[in-house]
Structure formats: C-alpha cells, structure tokens
Amino acid sequence: QVQLVESGGGLVQAGDSLRLSCAASGRTFSSVAMAWFRQAPGKEREFVATIDWSGSITYYADSVKGRFTISRDNAKNTVALQMNSLKPEDTAVYYCASATVPFTSVQAIHYIHWGQGTQVTVSS
C-alpha cells in the first residue's frame, strides 16, 4: 500500500514562489509515474504536471508551463513541484498522485494513490 503526504502549501502573494513536496511510502515508488493535480473551489480536479518513473520525462498543463517544475528523487521517495510566478488563479488544493504505470499520463484514471492535499492560496 502506498501512502502519499504532501507539504509546503501556504498563503503567498502573486509573483511569489512555493515548493510543494510529496513523501511516498511503499516499494513501488521508483517504478511508477507521479503527478500533481489541483482542485479550486467549485471546479473539477485538473491535471498540473507529471513525471515518469525515471524522472527524465515530464509534461505540464499549458496553464503552468514555464512556471512550474516537477522533479523526483527515487532514493528518497519524494516528488516535488516548484511553483514560480504564482498567480491568483493557481489557488487550489494540490494533490500528489502515484500512477499504476511507469509512463506519464494526464488522466486521473491512471493514478491509484492520492495524498490528502495541501492548500495553496495566492493573493493578488
């Protein structure tokens, strides 16, 4: 069983940066893709970024491309999301998720384990 615990959320101003971290337990971490999703109030959960099992392939939502960077450390069972140039529309609960497959995917259906989420609030 994989458990995911996110940290690093908070309240920041537009233009600031935040770094989210996700600590994973379980032996399969290094063999599956990981991703970050987010859900804003009154909206559906949406894909943010994904990284393959090796860390060599990443993919981003258009809305965060060039501002966010996903990375992973398989030795430490962690995945991070560096968020720069934050905007008020980035305000959401951010979720870490682990996939059932080693390659990247933007579809939530491919992610079987989810963290409890961490709140990111960006004020204008």
Please count the CA atoms within 13 angstroms of the CA of 28 that sit on its side-chain side.
15
Please give the pLDDT value at position 27: 77
Tell me the mean pLDDT in the region 57-77: 97
Residue 18 has pLDDT above 80, yes or no: yes
Please give the pLDDT value at position 54: 95
Helix or strand or coil: residue 108? Answer: helix
- Of residues 101 and 40, more confidence is placed in 40
Q: Quick one: which of 64, 61, 94, 101 has its CA closest to 79?
A: 94
Residue 79 has pLDDT above 90, yes or no: yes
Is the Cβ–Cβ distance between 14 and 83 less than 8 Å? no
Please give the pLDDT value at position 30: 87
Residue 95 has pLDDT above 90, yes or no: yes
Residue 46 has pLDDT above 90, yes or no: yes
Residue 31 has pLDDT above 80, yes or no: yes
Is the Cβ–Cβ distance between 94 and 6 less than 8 Å? yes
Tell me the mean pLDDT in the region 94-107: 93
